[in-house]
């Protein structure tokens, strides 16, 4: 029984949230996000922050926020190493927290410094 637990522990992939299905990862960026727990957590934080901003009254158009996110994804996808990805994610996670809100309560936001 102990051997079975050890074998399962050795061959079970790390578990952390990402904004997409890691079983379908094909690009370098997707594979890095799925294999690095920090990137997975940053990806999840960005996804949650982005969704919160889309549902708030942040003073800009949803169309422009979506266009900005697509532009960021395009730049992010040019990264060729882990450090580039981490730097890109940390910057973007914090940018999503910096959007102002015109009315109502600012949505809950995770800053990159809170992600370890």
Q: Write out pLDDT tens, residues 71-81.
A: 999 999 999 99
As a whole number, the mean pLDDT across the chain is 82
> pTM of the prediction?
0.78
| Angstrom distance (rounded) from CA 92 to CA 83 | 14
Report pLDDT for 106: 62
- Determine contact, residues 94/49, Cβ cutoff 8 Å: no
DSSP3 helix / strand / coil % (the chain, rounded to 5)? 65, 0, 35
Specify the 3-state DSSP secondary structure of 16.
coil
Report pLDDT for 63: 87
- Determine contact, residues 86/39, Cβ cutoff 8 Å: yes
Q: Write out pLDDT tens, residues 11-42.
A: 434 444 578 899 999 999 999 999 999 999 99
| Residue at token pair 């029984």 | 1
């Amino acid at each position: 029984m102990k051997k079975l637990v050890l074998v399962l522990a050795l061959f079970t992939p790390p578990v952390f949230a990402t904004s997409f299905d890691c079983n379908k990862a094909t690009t370098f960026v997707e594979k890095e996000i799925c294999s690095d727990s920090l990137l997975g957590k940053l990806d999840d934080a960005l996804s949650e922050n982005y969704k919160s901003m889309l549902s708030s009254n942040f003073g800009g158009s949803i169309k422009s926020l979506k266009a900005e996110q697509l532009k960021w994804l395009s730049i992010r996808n040019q990264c060729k190493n882990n450090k580039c990805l981490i730097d890109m994610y940390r910057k973007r996670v914090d940018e999503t927290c910096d959007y102002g809100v015109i009315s109502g309560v600012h949505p809950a936001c995770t800053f990159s410094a809170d992600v370890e």
